[in-house]
Structure 1
Amino acid sequence: MKTAVQADALATHDQVLTSAERVAADGKFLRAGDERFLIKGVTYGTFAPDAQGYQFPSPSRVSEDFRLMASLGINTVRTYTPPRPDLLDEAARHGLRVMIGLPWSQHVAFLDDRTLKRAIRRETTAKVRELGTHPAVLMFALGNEIPPGVVRWHGRVRVERFLRRLYEEAKAASPATLFTYVNFPPTEFLDLSFFDVCAFNVYLHREAQLRAYIARLQHVASHKPLLLAEAGADSIREGETGQARLTAMHVRAAFEEGACGAIAFAWTDEWWRGGHPVDDWKFGLVDGDRRPKSAATAVAAAFANAPFSREQQKTWPMVSAVICAYNAADTLDDCLTSLERLTYPDYEIILVNDGSRDRTSEIAHGHPRVRVIDIPNRGLSAARNVGLAAARGEIVAYTDADTRVDRDWLTFLVQPFLVSNVVGSGGPNVVPPDDSPIAQCIARAPGGPT
């Protein structure tokens, strides 16, 4: 049974992308300009090649696909082969960004053939140089799921070294572009921390197990953004209702567990692999004739609510953010400004001035939303206890006066309290890219504040 989509929801989105809106990494997330960019994507292809070997539909079909994608709130298209510039132009015209997969001979013992290795690096870098500056390019995927047998044959270290060199050469060709390698559970042990984004394909149909695995992948990703690069379900085996339920669950779980985005596999049931059309799997949000299935509206709703719905936010407890400061005039204004911009719906800010001799108190009093408590200098522990006693929130969150918090800091800090019996939670310290070289070095040193 096909699902009808309201006519107004199918209106064309004429949001043309410009080079000024290039997406960059921003701690554990991505941003476009000054705005957070959550990847709300679908995979596109692979399709049967035309007479020239090009594996995408006709321009008119692409245009209609992109129009329908945009109407569903999709902002990213993941391809498995490089598109021509006209497809990128069409994506930009509909406000879509493209995650471009660059395929190479990864299913053979590629490291045993020096000529093949050089060809992979040369052809990959050339394609990055050709397409990397287009405003519709979100990132390049420099590989996807090298088979475990190939990794074991070559050894983990050799594969990691090759991928690092591939990344470095591609990055040199297009420094402002993001790069990733799309991994999957059988080879999660690969250390690919040099990539800009940590991306994984994950298909788990039990929500508790999926959430637990995404939490594990956050540790693998460390301070880099984590992307769920493929997830979905087959409507032949699960039925259209089951497909909708499972795919929407994958998307919601990814965002609620702090991923920078989720990509549903796939846009359409039209799929071609290994020289033949695939007829016994139907993962598409739309069928081969582009009629929306139940999964299309379910995923659109999950994207619209990402990362959390307003109904969920109404149930969250009040939080008291407590900052203890001593002679913090150099950094305090940035800290308090970032706290005032939090997306969390119900919180207060308490600044405990621990007998500072500089302008700490004056700066704090200049922020009307901040409740300032001035005390004689008695040290950090005493100041934190003062803040705790003054807090009105059900949860107390401490941070330091030399910190700029992420806009979603409290949103994700609070989640473990809502779904488990923990008594404390925390996260990584990510050094802002505009921080001083000394701060950058300290953060990367053994024993640094991570």
Structure 2
Amino acid sequence: MKNNARIAKVGFAPRLAPQPASESPAYDWVRPEVRGKFLWIGEKKFYVRGVTYGPFEPDSSGDTYPAPAKVKQDFSLMSAHGINAIRTYNAPPRWLLDLAQEHGLRVLVGLQGERHFAFLDDSKAVSNIKNQIVTGTRRAAGHPAVLCYTVANEIPAHIVRWYGARRIERFIRDLYGIARNEDPESLFTYANYPTTEYLDLPFLDLLCFNVFLESQPRFEAYLVRLQNLAGDRPLIMSEIGLDSRRNGELLQVQTLNWQIGTSFAMGAAGVFVFSWTDEWHNRGDHVQDWDFGVTNRDRAAKPALKVVSNAFADIPFSFRGAWPRVSVVVCSFNGSRTIRQCLQGLEELRYPNFEVIVIDDGSTDGTGKIAREYDVRVIHTPNRGLSSARNTGLATATGEIIAYLDDDACPDPDWL
């Protein structure tokens, strides 16, 4: 969040009591898992198209969420606009997770392990934080709507400098271990931001960053930097957005459009737009001088909601317009052990205009026979080696683009 929000959030979060699991989940879901740079749910790649949700004014029990009827209304509107995930800043009650599941929403659950003072010198504060992590994780543990847990959000840069990066890294690792002990099958992350990008947290399942750059070239350049930091883990932009009160609704629309498009074009596994609504409550007060929402405080749609919906619909890319034909050439010599998985992967490609050519380079193990089981062109040649096989594929191809694939590779659905 923006700097003045960080200042405003000083103090302890309310302690929330754990709640029993629902007697019957709305329907069975598979928990997400990390495969390379993306999240997968079962055999489907899951692109996170999310919005942040809350915090709102606390009720009598300390929960910072609206009444169930209002939440249901919010979730219905989200679902209708192609949103598939929400991010909360503290652990939601179980009924909210049930409603999220009913509306096809995954939840990035915040555990609020951050504090905005020199908390590591206060043993009581550290104990409270760890108890809060346990309580929050137990609230959501095992629920199929949980996308991932965020153990903390934006520990302030001056606190990190005061204690040193290594000590903060150990603290975050401790929170990670505590939370994972409560829900060992889930994913865990920390929501970082540019000022403390140097924190080294390799134990986390994925990298989350809150980034509010308002220049597209700088945003794109910083995404390159973040992908380097993420390495082989998924990168999720856990907060992006623009305040329409100060910048106007037109600029908010334009900025969100390129922030979302650029994030996915640069290989992000997902984004969370900050935020769902202009309604926001902090430290006992309604925040009135920020309008980051895609809906207003009464939940009337702002122009940004339609743009976000359209941008999400185009993920990972838009099928509008003409796409160049691609010829995928698979060269194989005695690849019977692996070529079936390769061709099955090619059948799952999400690209509107391509062909597959298999060059059977003199195989003696039935490779060509396996290849003929699939909707591909199979060309049999004497064994002349890989270079000759690739040249044969090139000469036969009808595409504007030639993409060579090894017979032991299984392509990502969005490889092309």
Q: Structure 2 vs 1, CA of residues 105 and 199 (structure 1 numbering), >3 Å: closer, same or farther?
A: closer
CA distance in structure 2 between the partners assigned to 1:186 and 1:398 by the alignment: 41
**2:174 alignment counterpart:** 165
**What is the letter of the counterpart of residue 352 of structure 1?**
I
| Bigger mean CA deviation after superposition, 329-338 or 194-203 | 194-203
SS in 1 for 2:248: helix
| Per-residue deviation, residues 285-307 of structure 1 (Å, max 9, x unmatched) | 11111111111111111122222
1:405 aligns with 2:414: no
**2:34 alignment counterpart:** 25
> Unpaired runs of 5+ in structure 2?
1-24
CA distance in structure 1 between the partners assigned to 2:298 and 2:134 by the alignment: 36
SS in 2 for 1:21: coil
**2:324 alignment counterpart:** 317
1:194 aligns with 2:203: yes
Structure 1 position 115, deviation (Å): 5.3
SS in 2 for 1:327: coil
| Bigger mean CA deviation after superposition, 238-247 or 354-363 | 354-363
Q: How does 1:227-376 map to 2 (within 5 A)?
A: 227-311=236-320, 314-367=321-374, 369-376=375-382
SS in 2 for 1:20: coil
1:211 aligns with 2:220: yes
Aligned-pair identity in percent equals: 47
Q: Structure 2 vs 1, CA of residues 388 and 110 (structure 1 numbering), >3 Å: closer, same or farther?
A: farther
**What is the letter of the counterpart of residue 384 of structure 2?**
R
CA distance in structure 1 between the partners assigned to 2:36 and 2:289 by the alignment: 41
Matched-pair contact (CA < 8 Å) for 1:268–1:286: yes
**1:378 alignment counterpart:** 384
Structure 1 position 198, deviation (Å): 1.5
Matched-pair contact (CA < 8 Å) for 1:323–1:352: yes
SS in 2 for 1:65: helix
Q: Structure 2 vs 1, CA of residues 378 and 161 (structure 1 numbering), >3 Å: closer, same or farther?
A: farther
CA distance in structure 2 between the partners assigned to 1:168 and 1:233 by the alignment: 34
CA distance in structure 2 between the partners assigned to 1:151 and 1:302 by the alignment: 36
SS in 2 for 1:329: coil
CA distance in structure 1 between the partners assigned to 2:272 and 2:138 by the alignment: 25
Q: Structure 2 vs 1, CA of residues 204 and 330 (structure 1 numbering), >3 Å: closer, same or farther?
A: same
Structure 1 position 331, deviation (Å): 0.9
Matched-pair contact (CA < 8 Å) for 1:88–1:136: yes
2:43 counterpart (34, 52, 55): 34
CA distance in structure 2 between the partners assigned to 1:340 and 1:290 by the alignment: 42
2:86 counterpart (50, 62, 77): 77
| Bigger mean CA deviation after superposition, 120-129 or 224-233 | 120-129
1:394 aligns with 2:400: yes
**What is the letter of the counterpart of residue 345 of structure 2?**
S
| Per-residue deviation, residues 401-436 of structure 1 (Å, max 9, x unmatched) | 1111111111xxxxxxxxxxxxxxxxxxxxxxxxxx
TM-score, structure 1 normalization: 0.81
TM-score, structure 2 normalization: 0.87
Matched-pair contact (CA < 8 Å) for 1:45–1:56: yes
**What is the letter of the counterpart of residue 149 of structure 2?**
F
| Per-residue deviation, residues 121-160 of structure 1 (Å, max 9, x unmatched) | 3431342133121122221111111222222223333322
CA RMSD of aligned residues (A): 2.2
SS in 2 for 1:295: helix
Matched-pair contact (CA < 8 Å) for 2:86–2:106: yes
**2:8 alignment counterpart:** none
CA distance in structure 2 between the partners assigned to 1:252 and 1:139 by the alignment: 23
| Per-residue deviation, residues 36-65 of structure 1 (Å, max 9, x unmatched) | 322111111122223333211222222222
Matched-pair contact (CA < 8 Å) for 1:19–1:134: no
Q: Structure 2 vs 1, CA of residues 98 and 388 (structure 1 numbering), >3 Å: closer, same or farther?
A: same
CA distance in structure 2 between the partners assigned to 1:371 and 1:214 by the alignment: 39
SS in 1 for 2:359: strand
1:180 aligns with 2:186: no
| Bigger mean CA deviation after superposition, 112-121 or 206-215 | 112-121
SS in 1 for 2:29: helix
Structure 1 position 273, deviation (Å): 2.1
Q: Structure 2 vs 1, CA of residues 17 and 51 (structure 1 numbering), >3 Å: closer, same or farther?
A: closer
CA distance in structure 2 between the partners assigned to 1:96 and 1:363 by the alignment: 40
**What is the letter of the counterpart of residue 281 of structure 2?**
W
Q: Structure 2 vs 1, CA of residues 329 and 95 (structure 1 numbering), >3 Å: closer, same or farther?
A: same
CA distance in structure 2 between the partners assigned to 1:17 and 1:355 by the alignment: 54
CA distance in structure 2 between the partners assigned to 1:355 and 1:113 by the alignment: 72
| Bigger mean CA deviation after superposition, 373-382 or 331-340 | 373-382
Matched-pair contact (CA < 8 Å) for 2:93–2:139: no
| Per-residue deviation, residues 315-355 of structure 1 (Å, max 9, x unmatched) | 33222222222221111100011012200111121222233
**What is the letter of the counterpart of residue 18 of structure 1?**
Y
> Unpaired runs of 5+ in structure 1?
1-15, 411-450
| Bigger mean CA deviation after superposition, 67-76 or 155-164 | 155-164
SS in 1 for 2:277: coil
SS in 2 for 1:393: coil
Equivalenced residues, count: 392
Matched-pair contact (CA < 8 Å) for 2:57–2:64: yes
| Bigger mean CA deviation after superposition, 62-71 or 376-385 | 376-385
